[in-house]
Structure 1
Amino acid sequence: MKPFNLFFVFVYYLVGLVTRILHPTTVEGMENLPEHGALLCPNHSSNWDPILVVLRLPIHYRVHIMAKEELFRNPVLAWILRKVGAFPVSRGSNDIETVRTAMQSIKSGDNLLIFPEGTVIRNGIGYVDGLPPRARAGVAVIGVRTGATLIPVFVDGEKKLFHRTRIIFGKPYEPHYTGRRGTSEEMQKIADDLLEEAYALGGQAVGGAPLCGK
């Protein structure tokens, strides 16, 4: 497990207090979270998402965050991010070292947060040819190879100041695949299903559009 450091305690309470004022949240489904070995998979509608999710978890809940490498270009911010358990991922490349770090965080008994979309998707921003991108299959690969408990998570897209945001932790998703590691098609389907379930928790289709009848 990652060491529990005083800096994280400081950030958790100070930043947590600030975010509770600026972005009050309602959290549901905490009972669905295992203590160890969870792979949390939220939809990604804002840069606030990882902060809001992590700071609404209990302080003893050990979670690492896979964050885009651009955030680590500032040395001060990079130091802070690493202190709270984040590590960089190079989007659009086959970053083997990042995958190993992600898998090790789960195998060591901690938990991991990954955004299956890989980028912010909100009101058409991040869409390709008018459609939201598919989930990254690597999320499923990490989950299957580590035996992680896959948890879909919904985070409200609206992040207006002083407006309440919902965070919903869904029930564990049971992946289905053949053999020990499954096929690439099966991994893509698992990732897509996870993302679909995350949005469905909030009554939305993938990309944020309301589901019919909701």
Structure 2
Amino acid sequence: MKPFNRLFVFIYYAAGLLADILHPVSVEGVERLPKNGALLCPNHSSNWDPILVALKLPKNYRLHIMAKEELFKNPLLGWLLRKVGAFPVSRGNNDINTVRTAMQAIKDGDNLLIFPEGTVVRNGVGYIDGLPAHAKAGVAMIGVRTGAALVPVFVDGEKKLFHRTRIIFGEPYEPHYTGRRGTSEEMQKIADDVLAAAYALGGQAVGGKPL
């Protein structure tokens, strides 16, 4: 992503103005963010989430977003998404190229946004592979193998037009694992812990229910 090209700047400010009107946002904890090599891990309750989070980061914060492939089927939208650093992921499939793209973004010194739940979870109701929504271990695997700083991020669940939404960036989470890459169980625990930390920033348990 080239954050200072003209198209990016135009989209950043135009989309930011529209988003501020439709979904005004209060932000906490931006000062906690690493300048580079960060893996942002928000809870996911709305298709607005990646847009709102991205627009509340500094303009020069080199961010890539792992977005569902359906969004790229529209030629114009797909082109715009790629221009601002997004890339598609095929949900439910073992997409090796997507994982490589995600890891390369971190290795290049950029930052990456991934939703650990992998799907939108509204009011505690959501399913992944037929089970209640939970964190997917892939986010931990990418973080561990790249040495990224895993940053929990809370985004308010219910989005109402013209009502304020909170976004809270937490302290980077330090993963603990054995060996160079850890076990699959350790990766799952890291992913679960990061997701739990994201919800806890907003005073909620995983799935959006109050603590």
Contact 2:152–2:195 (CA<8 Å) still a contact in 1?
yes
Query: After superposition, what is the alpha-carbon deviation per residue over 1:18-59, rounded to whole angstroms, capped at 9, x for unaligned?
Result: 101111110001111011000000000000000000000010
Name the structure 1 match of 2:204. Answer: 204
Aligned to 2:19: 19
Distance 1:115 1:79 in 2: 22
Residues 112-163 of structure 1 show CA distances to partners (whole Å, capped at 9, x for unaligned) of: 0000000000024423699632201000000000000010000001210110
Partner amino acid for 2:53? V
1:87 maps to which residue?
87
Residue in 1 aligned with 2:134?
Answer: 134
Q: How does 1:20-99 map to 2 (within 5 A)?
A: 20-99=20-99
Q: TM-score, normalised by structure 2?
A: 0.96
Counterpart CA distance in 1 for 2:130 and 2:123 is 11
- Distance (Å, rounded) in 2 between the aligned partners of 1:100 and 1:64: 13
Aligned length, in residue pairs? 210
> 1:198 & 1:30 partners in 2: Cα distance?
14
Query: Structure 1-normalised TM-score?
Result: 0.95
Over the matched positions of the two proteins, sequence identity in percent amounts to: 79
Task: Map residues 64-213 of structure 1 onto 2, 5 A cutoff.
Answer: 64-127=64-127, 132-211=132-211
Distance in 2, matches of 1:12 and 1:129, equals: 35
Which 5+ residue runs of structure 2 have no aligned equivalent?
Answer: none
Counterpart contact for 2:125–2:207, Cα < 8 Å:
no
- In 2, the alpha carbon distance for the partners of 1:127 and 1:174 equals 27
Compute the displacement of 1:3 (Å). 2.3
CA contact (8 A) 1:42 1:115 kept: yes
Structure 2: how far apart are the matches of 1:26 and 1:56?
A: 9
Letter of the structure 2 residue corresponding to residue 73 of structure 1: K
How big is each residue's C-alpha offset from its partner over 1:151-180, in whole Å with a ceiling of 9 and x where there is no partner? 000000121011000000000100000000
**Residues 126, 178 of structure 1: CA spacing in aligned structure 2 closer, same or farther, 3 A cutoff?**
same
Contact 1:124 1:130 in 2 (8 A): no
CA contact (8 A) 1:117 1:136 kept: yes
> Does the Cα contact within 8 Å between 1:24 and 1:162 map onto a contact in 2?
yes
Q: What is the root-mean-square deviation of aligned Cα atoms in Å?
A: 1.4
Tell me which amino acid in the other structure corresponds to 1:3.
K
The one-letter code matched in structure 1 to 2:54 is V
Mapped contact 1:153–1:170 kept (Cα < 8 A): yes
Counterpart amino acid of 2:2?
P
Corresponding residue for 2:2?
Answer: 3
